[in-house]
């Protein structure tokens, strides 16, 4: 009896190891389905604008700065002669608004490729603010000993994906209307729009008001670059699950089932705007897009992430179920064949296949309930048959149902999942130890006589 018991334990242990293989296959299946979803996202991005970041407006004024320099030359008579040569340097002066207010109302929806839905949006935005000519005048004063020839100034707005600009906007500049042209016209960038402006008057400092409206389309995320001395961004959306991104969280936010509102306020001290402008002067104006805050339109129930997390508990379910069968086998003097153990293990694993496949078409909770109910009902009937007792089968079924309910609670508690999982393991182990604390394991395994002889 002793040898038979340990031999069977070895077989059951080997079965558990073998069941890890189909568990790994199911994990791989989750990764494969995630890759298919990512391909669906890419497919939608080919026909719909992608993630959007709006930066600007930025006022750029090209100029030619000329100055005289002395240069010594040696003539044919080997006499050194000093001449005065004019040197001209071409550069651009970049100015950011003194004040910028952005109001955005975002309407979101889902676009599908097959079974995969991707959040897309159309955002109606209003920009208004003012530029100060003080930095322009300071530059002139700083270079008063040089000759400066100014070119036409232009105002540029950068966007992440230019396809998202639905209608050509117009700029309200100091009381007049000027149509935007495609392209940012800034070095190192392509997507955006720009407009040529009237010459800026020299003299005393003035404030130039501006405003424009635009309708921008995108998907999954929208961001606003804080390129102003004082920036106020207000966003309202009908998406109830935002994830706020960037180095600054919104100062105010309100989230409910119908959507959310958020407001950011920042100054030039909040970000290294000067550094970004300096990079732009060096031809890398794409750096202007990095100083941004925004939101991601997340889908709160990531079925693949929750399915993957649930699969990690498969070993626990299999081990606990096998331990329960071993105990009943010893207590009731039953003989359960290794093939029956194998079928029980496969039935436990099939639950995860049901969960993954169903959750792609229906809500995760409903998919989990159907998969857990089907697996529990099947195993309850099977337990009753192999244990020759409907009562014992029902008892194991109830215990398995409690495990499935506990697992679902753990899956929903993302931040405390590790704590709850550890508590579940501790409670199960404690219950098992307390329930078997009075067992005579030598007698149950047929080693009672041998143990008595050893003690004598």
Give burial (CB, 10 Å; 0-12/13-18/19+) of 220. Answer: buried
* Angstrom distance (rounded) from CA 431 to CA 174: 77
Alpha-carbon torsion angle 132, 133, 134, 137, nearest 10: 170
**Sorting pLDDT into bands at 50, 70 and 90, what band is 449?**
very low
* Residue 363 covered by a domain: yes
* Residue 452 covered by a domain: no
Q: Could you tell me if 11 and 146 lie in one domain?
A: no
Rg (CA), the chain: 35
* Residue 198 covered by a domain: yes
Q: Could you tell me if 63 and 20 lie in one domain?
A: no
The partner residues of 71 in beta bridges, in order of sequence, read 83
* Angstrom distance (rounded) from CA 9 to CA 338: 10
pLDDT of residue 236: 92
Q: What backbone phi and psi angles, to 5 degrees, belong to 216?
A: -120, 130
* Proportion of the chain above pLDDT 90, given as a percent: 9
**Sorting pLDDT into bands at 50, 70 and 90, what band is 263?**
very high
Q: Could you tell me if 371 and 391 lie in one domain?
A: yes
Q: Could you tell me if 173 and 238 lie in one domain?
A: yes
Contact 186, 195 (CB under 8 A): no
The residue among 61, 278, 279, 280 whose CA lies nearest residue 154 is 61
Q: Could you tell me if 357 and 286 lie in one domain?
A: no
* Residue 337 covered by a domain: yes
The residue among 402, 397, 421 whose CA lies nearest residue 347 is 397
Domains in the chain, number = 2
**Sorting pLDDT into bands at 50, 70 and 90, what band is 389?**
confident
The residue among 195, 161, 190 whose CA lies nearest residue 59 is 195
Contact 248, 293 (CB under 8 A): yes
List, in order, residues 6 or more apart from 185 with CB less than 8 Å away.
Answer: 154, 156, 192, 194
Contact 306, 333 (CB under 8 A): no
What are 313-352's pLDDT values in tens digits?
777 777 777 777 777 777 777 777 888 878 888 888 888 8
CA distances (Å), origin 455, targets 264, 449, 451:
78, 10, 6
Cβ of 178: how many Cβ atoms within 10 Å? Answer: 17
Contact 314, 344 (CB under 8 A): no
The residue among 19, 33, 24, 27 whose CA lies nearest residue 347 is 19
What is the β-pairing status of strands 80-95 and 221-225? unpaired
Q: Is residue 90 over pLDDT 90?
A: no
Q: Could you tell me if 203 and 286 lie in one domain?
A: yes
| Helix H or strand E encompassing 38 | helix 2-47
Tell which of 249, 270, 297 closes a domain.
297
What are 206-216's pLDDT values in tens digits?
888 999 999 99
* Residue 43 covered by a domain: no
* Angstrom distance (rounded) from CA 82 to CA 72: 4
* Residue 455 covered by a domain: no
Q: Is residue 454 over pLDDT 60?
A: no
Tell which of 297, 331, 352 closes a domain.
297
| Residues spanned by the domain of 318 | 2-38+303-437
Find the range with the poorest average confidence among 137-146, 196-205, 350-359, 420-429.
420-429
Q: What backbone phi and psi angles, to 5 degrees, belong to 13?
A: -60, -40
Contact 420, 408 (CB under 8 A): no
SS (H, E, C) 250-285: CCEEEEECCEEEEEEEEECCCCCHHHHHHHHHCCCH
Average pLDDT for residues 387-391, to the nearest whole number? 82
Q: What share of the chain is helix, strand, coil (3-state, %, to 5)?
A: 45, 30, 25
Q: Could you tell me if 16 and 126 lie in one domain?
A: no
What are 219-261's pLDDT values in tens digits?
888 999 888 888 899 999 988 888 888 878 888 899 888 889 9
* Angstrom distance (rounded) from CA 291 to CA 225: 5
SS (H, E, C) 213-236: EEEEEEECEEEEECCCCEEEEEEE
Q: Could you tell me if 341 and 206 lie in one domain?
A: no
**Sorting pLDDT into bands at 50, 70 and 90, what band is 1?**
very low
CB-based burial, 358-384: b 16+ in 10 Å, e otherwise = bbbeeebeebbbbbbeebbebbbebbb
* Residue 22 covered by a domain: yes
CA distances (Å), origin 356, targets 314, 351, 414:
14, 9, 19
pLDDT of residue 281: 78
pLDDT of residue 73: 67
Q: Could you tell me if 278 and 397 lie in one domain?
A: no
End-to-end CA distance of the chain, in Å?
Answer: 21
* Proportion of the chain above pLDDT 70, given as a percent: 85
CA distances (Å), origin 163, targets 28, 105, 113:
36, 19, 20
Q: Could you tell me if 307 and 384 lie in one domain?
A: yes
* Residue 175 covered by a domain: yes
Q: Could you tell me if 245 and 308 lie in one domain?
A: no
Q: Could you tell me if 207 and 241 lie in one domain?
A: yes
Tell which of 262, 297, 332 closes a domain.
297
pTM of the predicted structure, to 2 decimals:
0.67
């Amino acid at each position: 009896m002793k040898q038979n018991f340990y031999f069977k334990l070895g077989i059951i242990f080997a079965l558990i190891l073998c069941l890890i293989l189909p568990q790994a296959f199911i994990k791989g299946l989750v990764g494969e389905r995630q890759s298919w979803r990512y391909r669906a996202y890419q497919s939608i991005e080919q026909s719909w604008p992608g993630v959007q970041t709006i930066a600007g407006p930025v006022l750029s004024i090209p100029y030619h700065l000329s100055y005289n320099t002395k240069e010594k030359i040696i003539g044919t008579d080997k006499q050194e002669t000093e001449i005065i040569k004019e040197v001209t340097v071409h550069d651009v002066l970049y100015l950011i608004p003194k004040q910028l207010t952005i109001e955005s109302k975002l309407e979101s929806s889902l676009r599908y490729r097959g079974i995969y839905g991707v959040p897309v949006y159309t955002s109606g935005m209003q920009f208004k603010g003012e530029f100060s000519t003080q930095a322009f005048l300071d530059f002139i004063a700083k270079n008063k000993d040089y000759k400066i020839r100014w070119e036409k100034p232009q105002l540029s707005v950068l966007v992440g994906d230019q396809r998202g600009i639905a209608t050509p906007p117009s700029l309200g500049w100091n009381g007049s209307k000027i149509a935007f042209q495609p392209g940012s016209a800034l070095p190192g960038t392509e997507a955006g729009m720009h407009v040529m402006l009237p010459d800026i008057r020299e003299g005393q400092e003035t404030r130039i008001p501006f405003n424009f409206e635009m309708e921008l389309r995108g998907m999954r995320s929208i961001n606003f670059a804080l390129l102003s001395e004082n920036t106020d961004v207000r966003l309202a959306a009908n998406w109830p699950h935002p994830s706020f991104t960037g180095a600054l969280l919104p100062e105010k936010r309100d989230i409910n089932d119908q959507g959310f509102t958020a407001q950011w306020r920042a100054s030039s001290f909040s970000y290294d705007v000067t550094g970004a402008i300096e990079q732009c002067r060096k031809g890398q104006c794409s750096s202007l897009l990095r100083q941004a805050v925004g939101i991601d339109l997340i889908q709160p129930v990531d079925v693949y992430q929750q399915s993957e997390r649930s699969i990690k508990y498969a070993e626990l379910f299999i081990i606990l179920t096998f331990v329960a069968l071993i105990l009943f086998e010893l207590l009731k003097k039953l003989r359960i064949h290794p093939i029956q153990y194998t079928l029980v293990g496969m039935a436990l694993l099939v639950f995860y296949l049901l969960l993954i496949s169903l959750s792609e078409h229906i809500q995760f909770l409903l998919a989990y309930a159907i998969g857990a109910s089907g697996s529990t009902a099947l195993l309850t009937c099977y337990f009753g048959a192999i244990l020759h007792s409907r009562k014992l089968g029902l008892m194991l079924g109830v215990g398995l149902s409690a495990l499935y309910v506990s697992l679902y609670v753990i899956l929903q508690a993302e931040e405390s999942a590790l704590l709850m999982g550890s508590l579940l393991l501790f409670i199960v182990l404690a219950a098992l130890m307390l329930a078997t604390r009075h067992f005579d394991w030598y007698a149950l395994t047929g080693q009672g006589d041998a143990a008595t002889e050893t003690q004598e």
